[in-house]
């Protein structure tokens, strides 16, 4: 009898990140719903309705990826990698476009840059381990042997 491999650390951390982002977007969804009740003009009504639809889609996307990882689906692995790459690229673009917040001391700037680079490097490592790591590959490998063709 063949046993399934244990969930690797990269998959577990990915599931935690997916749930945290889903919760973050749920909070944003709650704020948008509150704004929806307050909005008075027609333009703000349409903008808030579009934001509600967008946020519902994001929450669903993150939760579907979480569920797929839990069920060991290969498509969920690549969906999660795609989401994480988009998150990393948007974080990088945010750093480049917004720059360093405030006009603090050189220690503040150094710490901010070091923390940002460390976070992005660790997130890139998580993506790398989820995409190409042997434990993750074994975890998502088919546990059922292929049926032999009948003679």
Each residue of 11-55: pLDDT tens digit? 999 999 999 999 999 998 888 788 777 755 676 777 778 888 898
Average pLDDT of 103-107? 74
3-class state of residue 52 by DSSP: helix
Determine the pLDDT at residue 1: 54
H runs (alpha helix) in the chain: 9-38, 42-70, 74-98, 106-132, 134-140
Determine the pLDDT at residue 144: 47
145 or 87: whose pLDDT is higher?
87
Determine the pLDDT at residue 40: 59
3-class state of residue 4 by DSSP: coil
100 vs 96: CA distance, rounded Å = 9
Q: Where are the domains of the chain?
A: 9-140
| 3-state SS track over 107-143 | HHHHHHHHHHHHHHHHHHHHHHHHHHCHHHHHHHCCC
Specify the range with the lowest mean pLDDT, choosing from 33-37, 109-113, 131-135, 138-142: 33-37
> What global pTM score does this model have?
0.82
Determine the pLDDT at residue 21: 95
Average pLDDT of 116-123? 93
């Amino acid at each position: 009898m063949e046993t399934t491999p244990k969930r690797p650390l990269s998959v577990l951390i990915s599931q935690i990140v997916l749930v945290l982002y889903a919760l973050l977007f749920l909070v944003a969804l709650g704020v948008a719903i509150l704004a929806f009740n307050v909005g008075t003009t027609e333009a703000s009504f349409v903008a808030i309705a579009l934001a509600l639809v967008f946020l519902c889609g994001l929450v669903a996307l993150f939760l579907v990826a979480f569920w797929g990882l839990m069920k060991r689906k290969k498509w969920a692995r690549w969906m999660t990698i795609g989401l994480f790459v988009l998150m990393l690229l948007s974080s990088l673009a945010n750093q480049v476009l917004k720059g360093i917040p405030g006009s603090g001391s050189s220690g503040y700037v150094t710490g901010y840059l070091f923390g940002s680079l460390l976070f992005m490097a660790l997130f890139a490592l998580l993506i790398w381990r989820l995409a190409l790591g042997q434990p993750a590959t074994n975890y998502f490998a088919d546990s059922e042997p292929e049926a032999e063709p009948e003679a």
